[in-house]
């Protein structure tokens, strides 16, 4: 049932959203490869056991095999590694296990150490001890009599990140991975985008997983409330109680996250900074694994699209990638030009079939016709799927718009010698609680209501109506020349579409903490499509109150078609109350945005020529 809040949001979108008809999909058909593995098996029973680690930690795993197996038949294995319980007590095989086993894949679901029924202590995501366990379990899988020795990783969100580390930790053991909505750079793409703390996730997520680790019962897929599944033979759950014992004295992850400001900060007990423990820092090992990769992300889900593009452009592994307009985990369609209840494109079944085609191609070596290197992406507003082998796509060119007088955004550079706009930071400004950041907590729908009222709290600049359709595909880059009354601050820039009827539609955003503004000339850890900010403590530069400073940073990438007659807007804020921790001193700072010929402020949009415009 829809919540009252969500019903109100949908009602507010009203008839205007309903008028935006969805164009028929084109350019790519999901799950349509040649001769995918047929569904000729059924999922066998769940068999749970412990796998011992060299340090004595016991890792809980669930094994589900295809049936009937036949004498001497062995299967490739899909391994999911999670910290969200491999299963609840009494749960049957889940939909993903049933899907893969029916097509001739064994499945193994694993609780990471210190979570679920596994023993040990979990203090933070993907500690060195945790990721070493992945390789041990993969080797255990390869030795089983039902295994053909082939292991592949699959997972969503945390499970996507573990799939990456599984490949990096196991040498050539892992043939393929499907990381769905991973954090390629967890600092930049999720927890501290632009150096600004994503408080809503950091605090609420850590509280949630702490409850899971203490075995607080929760509803399952069937609505039944249950706790963690114990391993087979633990009928009295004594082994499970032993695994959980002592976890209540372990600080939740937020206690460490809130001590972090810079990417190289390493709080006590954290076992590595985000500069060390995100998969981008292990790119050499990931690439050396040779594992084929099929990463999925969304233009509307935190920074997952950013990570997919950085991976695709950097690593030489066999790669396919998908970027859609979805909520986290692709359970809701999230194009801002469609009604919130629009059907998924592709459907869940088509998504699964696409993943099967990938596994059949790179694990079973079946001739499916699937290409080795391809990025499939969705253009919002046009509501169409497209493909490319390179990024940015061919035909992209940078087009500059300048901040001008009377809140305008114009192609001509400013001519005035001294022109600027003052803005007192409004700490009540918000993008709401159904935005791209909140979907990371459970995969809820992404809904941005009309931004007209929200923009009244911000500093905005808007173009004249467009004379023709304009496609923006890539990473917009903004340059703000500012003065502030404070020595630091958070700067948010939103890219928006203004319709002829006045409706303001959110498209994407970028943020930067002012002290992290230094543009580095060092080599970045992956290919970037905008300025490089290290976010390291050594590169911090406080603002000097009253002195001009340049903020040059990329927005989160997007692909969107803005229609003829619509206008482009950028809106500037100093806070997002419901999502990010405020960067404030004793009172709200006043910023001055310079827009003159000495200090022009501008945005560069990656514009792709339309077929009729080439």
Euclidean distance between CA atoms 213 and 211, whole angstroms: 5
Beta carbons of 485 and 546 less than 8 angstroms apart: yes
Euclidean distance between CA atoms 480 and 594, whole angstroms: 7
**What phi, psi does 294 have (nearest 5°)?**
-135, 85
Residue 1: Cβ within 10 Å count = 5
Q: What is the CA radius of gyration of the chain?
A: 25
User: Is 533 annotated as catalytic?
Assistant: no
Beta-bridged to residue 482, according to DSSP, are 549, 593
| Token pair listed for 432 | 């709401």
Euclidean distance between CA atoms 363 and 357, whole angstroms: 10
Beta carbons of 503 and 450 less than 8 angstroms apart: yes
Euclidean distance between CA atoms 151 and 105, whole angstroms: 10
Task: Count CA atoms within 13 Å of residue 220 on its CB side.
Answer: 18
Catalytic residue among 102, 157, 396, 559: 157
Task: Count CA atoms within 13 Å of residue 373 on its CB side.
Answer: 12
* Contacts made by residues 304-308, CB under 8 angstroms, sequence distance 24+: 304/181, 304/182, 304/183, 304/189, 304/328, 305/556, 305/557, 305/558, 306/184, 306/185, 306/188, 306/189, 306/556, 306/557, 307/182, 307/183, 307/184, 307/185, 307/189, 308/184, 308/375
Beta-bridged to residue 590, according to DSSP, are 424
Helix (H, G, I), strand (E, B) or coil at 564: coil
DSSP state of 598: S
Beta-bridged to residue 66, according to DSSP, are 43
Could you tell me which of 384, 349, 320, 289 has the C-alpha nearest to residue 36? 349
Catalytic residue among 328, 535, 566, 599: 328
Beta-bridged to residue 408, according to DSSP, are 404, 462
| Omega of the bond leading into 392 within 30 degrees of 0 (cis) | yes
Euclidean distance between CA atoms 321 and 387, whole angstroms: 10
Q: Which residues fall within 8 angstroms of residue 389, CB to CB, at 6 or more apart?
A: 371, 373, 374, 375
Task: Count CA atoms within 13 Å of residue 134 on its CB side.
Answer: 30
Helix (H, G, I), strand (E, B) or coil at 603: strand
Euclidean distance between CA atoms 394 and 473, whole angstroms: 10
| Token pair listed for 106 | 């064994």
Catalytic residue among 301, 360, 445, 497: 301
| Token pair listed for 296 | 């999925």
User: Is 301 annotated as catalytic?
Assistant: yes
| Residue tagged 């941005």 (tokens) | 448
User: Is 450 annotated as catalytic?
Assistant: no
Euclidean distance between CA atoms 587 and 574, whole angstroms: 13
Beta carbons of 301 and 190 less than 8 angstroms apart: no
Question: Among all residues, which ones are annotated catalytic?
Answer: 157, 301, 328
């Amino acid at each position: 049932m829809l919540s009252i809040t969500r019903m109100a949001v949908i009602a507010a979108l009203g008839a205007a959203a309903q008028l935006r008809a969805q164009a028929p999909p084109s350019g790519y058909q999901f799950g349509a490869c040649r001769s995918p593995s047929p569904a000729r098996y059924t999922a066998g029973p769940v068999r749970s056991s412990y796998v011992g680690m060299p340090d004595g930690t016991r890792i809980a795993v669930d094994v589900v095999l295809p049936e009937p197996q036949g004498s001497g038949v062995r299967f490739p294995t899909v391994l999911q590694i999670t910290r969200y319980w491999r299963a609840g007590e009494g749960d049957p095989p889940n939909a993903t296990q049933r899907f893969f086993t029916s097509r001739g894949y064994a499945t193994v679901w694993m609780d990471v150490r210190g979570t679920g029924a596994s023993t040990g202590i979990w203090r933070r995501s993907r500690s060195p001890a945790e990721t070493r366990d992945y390789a041990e379990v993969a080797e255990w899988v390869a030795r089983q009599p039902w295994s053909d020795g082939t292991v592949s990783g699959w997972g969503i969100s945390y499970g996507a990140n573990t799939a990456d580390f599984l490949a990096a930790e196991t040498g050539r053991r892992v043939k393929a991975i499907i990381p769905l909505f991973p954090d390629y750079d967890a600092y930049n793409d999720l927890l501290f985008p632009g150096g600004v703390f994503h408080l809503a996730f950091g605090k609420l997520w850590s509280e949630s997983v702490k409850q899971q680790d203490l075995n607080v019962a929760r509803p399952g897929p069937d609505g039944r409330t249950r706790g963690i599944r114990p391993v087979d033979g633990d009928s009295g759950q004594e082994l499970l109680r032993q695994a959980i014992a002592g976890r209540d004295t372990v600080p939740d992850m937020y206690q460490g996250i809130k001590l972090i400001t810079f990417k190289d900060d390493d709080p006590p007990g954290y076992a590595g900074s985000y500069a060390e423990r995100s998969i981008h820092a292990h790119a050499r090992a990931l690439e050396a694994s040779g594992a084929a990769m099929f990463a999925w992300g969304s233009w509307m889900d935190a920074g997952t699209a950013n990570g997919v593009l950085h991976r695709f452009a950097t690593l030489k592994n066999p790669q396919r990638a998908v970027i859609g307009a979805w909520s986290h985990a692709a359970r809701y369609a999230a194009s801002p030009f469609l009604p919130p209840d629009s059907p998924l494109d592709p459907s869940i079944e088509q998504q699964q079939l696409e993943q099967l085609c990938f596994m059949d191609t790179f694990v079973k070596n079946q001739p499916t016709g699937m290409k080795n290197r391809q990025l499939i992406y969705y253009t919002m507003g046009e509501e169409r799927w497209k493909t490319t082998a390179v990024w940015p796509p061919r035909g992209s060119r940078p087009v500059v718009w300048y901040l001008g007088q009377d809140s305008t955004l114009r192609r001509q550079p400013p001519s005035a010698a001294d022109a600027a706009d003052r803005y007192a930071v409004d700490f009540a400004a918000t993008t709401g609680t159904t935005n791209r950041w909140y979907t990371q907590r459970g995969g809820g729908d992404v809904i941005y209501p009309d931004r007209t009222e929200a923009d009244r709290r911000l500093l905005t600049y808007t173009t004249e109506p467009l004379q023709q359709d304009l496609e923006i595909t890539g990473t917009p880059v903004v340059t703000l020349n500012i003065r502030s009354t404070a020595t630091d601050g958070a700067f948010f820039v939103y890219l928006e579409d203004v319709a002829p009827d006045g409706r303001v539609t959110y498209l994407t955003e970028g943020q930067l903490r002012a002290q992290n503004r230094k543009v580095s000339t060092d080599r970045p850890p992956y290919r970037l499509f905008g300025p490089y900010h290290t976010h390291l403590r050594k590169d911090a530069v406080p603002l000097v109150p009253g002195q001009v400073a340049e903020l040059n940073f990329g927005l989160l990438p997007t692909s969107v078609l803005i229609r003829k007659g619509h206008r482009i807007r950028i809106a500037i804020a100093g806070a997002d109350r419901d999502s990010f921790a405020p960067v404030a001193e004793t009172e709200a700072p006043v910023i001055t945005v310079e827009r003159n010929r000495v200090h022009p402020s501008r945005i560069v949009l990656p514009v792709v020529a339309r077929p009729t415009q080439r």
